[in-house]
Amino acid sequence: MGALGELEAEIMGLVWQNGEPLSVRSLTDTLNTRRPLAYTTVMTVTERLRAKGWLTREKDGRSYHYRAARSAEDYTAELMEQALGTSADRTGALLRFVDRLDAAEAAALRDALKRAGRA
């Protein structure tokens, strides 16, 4: 799927933070506290996110409410995978990343590898 654009990332951030389905109007109102955006711009980007599989929608009266189809952690993992894919030495890049983990993060990674049967 690739990295989200700036407005896509802002919209997804709001959806992930809220946890409840949001209308385009509520997204637009919140985004307009940061910078002016047209309702139609937010609606277009929201529909693109739905088409890309990031959002689902449900009808509520005459409008739709959107919720995340994938988690913020899924997105971060995908970005990490893409970053590793750009390295000529994927293993080396991964090892350097692991060197930067604190003790709790390293323990969580060890536990995840064990659960996946890879440690």
Q: What is the pLDDT of residues 100-110, one digit of tens each?
A: 999 999 999 99
Residue 55 lies in a domain: yes
Q: Are 54 and 78 in the same domain?
A: no
Confidence of residue 59 (pLDDT cuts 50, 70, 90): very high
Query: Domain range holding 80?
Result: 72-115
pLDDT for res 3 = 84
Predicted TM-score of the model (pTM): 0.81
pLDDT for res 1 = 58
Cβ-based burial of 99 (10 A; exposed 0-12, middle 13-18, buried ≥19): exposed
* Domains identified in the chain, total number: 2
Q: Are 14 and 31 in the same domain?
A: yes
Model confidence at 19: pLDDT above 80: yes
